[in-house]
Structure 1
Amino acid sequence: MEEFLQVGVITATHGIHGEVKVFPTTDDPKRFKKLKKVLLDTGREKLELEVEGVKFFKNMVILKFKEYNDINQIEKYRKCPLLVTREHAVKLKKNEYFIADLIGLKVYTEDDAFLGTLDDVIQTGANDVYQVVTEEGKEILIPAIRQCILEVDVKEGRMKVHLLEGLV
């Protein structure tokens, strides 16, 4: 399991006082209102930043960090991810999982035959779709619905699925 979870990516600066536009990679962008701190992943280190201000504009979140008050200080962090620790992550309901925890799970059919590895989660309007890659490199798309996803065990790294007719 990942220690840190991504909540957004800095896309650009906003104004001259150190604000940044953030593309949210979380299901609920409003969660930024409750965030007190984030980790800025520079690629070499993770800097802990205190969130001083939050605004929303279209599909973006505009953040102001206490540590930066000038466009020149923050500009170099464009395209850097913003992370939170698991303890500051959104609380999940029963049968909900972080995408980062699902990627890499070994997927088995209901009769315990190895199907492949979960490679991607495609988010559609109705439900997510799990992309499973077989050992032969073939892709299988499985809707993330109760009829198909029988069991998920993140700690064991396993998922058990029922393949509806026509999926394979």
Structure 2
Amino acid sequence: MKDRLAIGYIRSAHGTNGALRVHSFSGESEHFRKLERLTLRYRGIEREYEVEGVFGTHPTLLVKLKGVDTREAAQRLQGWEIWVPRENAAPCREGEYYIADLEGCEVYSRGEEGSVFHGTIVAVIEAPHTFLLEVALSGGGRAMIPFQDHFVGEVDILRRRIELKTPWILE
């Protein structure tokens, strides 16, 4: 499992003092208040920042970073993702997991003689209405599976295993 997770992204600048309007991927904001440091990522570039303050609640969450002191500096960070160590992300409730943990899981379905292995998830892609699981197929090639209840059954992150309800989606 990944030791760092994306917890949100910078939507826009707020005000004139460099405050950032932030979108929380989890829809929660409490974990942002505990942050002392964070990493911003954009197109392969990473920057570390110290957190000066967090204000408001989701969906209007504001973050002030040390060294980002003007509206113009804040505007240059629009679209950057916010990454933190796993222990600083919003805690998962029972039955929840981080989307990032799907990568590396093996994909199975139920066959007449037990479980059938189909491949391994190599990427999770955010699409307009759902996530897509990119699977490297055991017989070669790749397939995309919409991460929706209609196609995906049980997800067992601890065993690194995902069960398909409809294996024909791989054809």
Alignment coverage as a number of residue pairs: 161
Distance (whole Å) between structure 1 residues aligned to residue 164 and residue 71 of structure 2: 52
Match for 1:47: what amino acid? E
Pairwise CA RMSD? 3.6
1:12 matched to 2:12:
yes
Match of 1:112 among 115, 127, 140: 115
After TM superposition, give the deviation of residue 10 of structure 1 in Å.
Answer: 1.1
Match for 2:75: what amino acid? E
Match for 1:114: what amino acid? F
Distance (whole Å) between structure 1 residues aligned to residue 147 and residue 77 of structure 2: 37
After TM superposition, give the deviation of residue 165 of structure 1 in Å.
Answer: 9.8
Counterpart residue number, 2:50: 49
* SS of aligned partner of 1:153: coil
C-alpha distance 51-6 of structure 1, shift in aligned 2 (>3 A): farther
After TM superposition, give the deviation of residue 86 of structure 1 in Å.
Answer: 1.3
C-alpha distance 153-95 of structure 1, shift in aligned 2 (>3 A): same
Distance (whole Å) between structure 1 residues aligned to residue 146 and residue 89 of structure 2: 28
After TM superposition, give the deviation of residue 99 of structure 1 in Å.
Answer: 0.6
Q: TM-score, normalised by structure 1?
A: 0.70
Match for 2:45: what amino acid? R
Q: Deviations over 1:23-80 (max 9, x none)?
A: 22224234323333322225333313214131247x3422122332222333322211
8 Å CA contact retained: 1:24, 1:60: no
Query: Which segments of 5 or more consecutive residues in structure 2 lack a partner in the other structure?
Result: none
Counterpart residue number, 2:158: 153
Distance (whole Å) between structure 2 residues aligned to residue 81 and residue 165 of structure 1: 34
Match for 2:118: what amino acid? L
C-alpha distance 95-77 of structure 1, shift in aligned 2 (>3 A): same
Identity %: 22
Query: Which segments of 5 or more consecutive residues in structure 1 lack a partner in the other structure?
Result: none
After TM superposition, give the deviation of residue 129 of structure 1 in Å.
Answer: 7.6
Distance (whole Å) between structure 2 residues aligned to residue 54 and residue 81 of structure 1: 18
Q: TM-score, normalised by structure 2?
A: 0.69
After TM superposition, give the deviation of residue 109 of structure 1 in Å.
Answer: 2.3
8 Å CA contact retained: 1:120, 1:131: yes
Q: How does 1:55-70 map to 2 (within 5 A)?
A: 55-56=56-57, 59-70=59-70
After TM superposition, give the deviation of residue 132 of structure 1 in Å.
Answer: 6.1
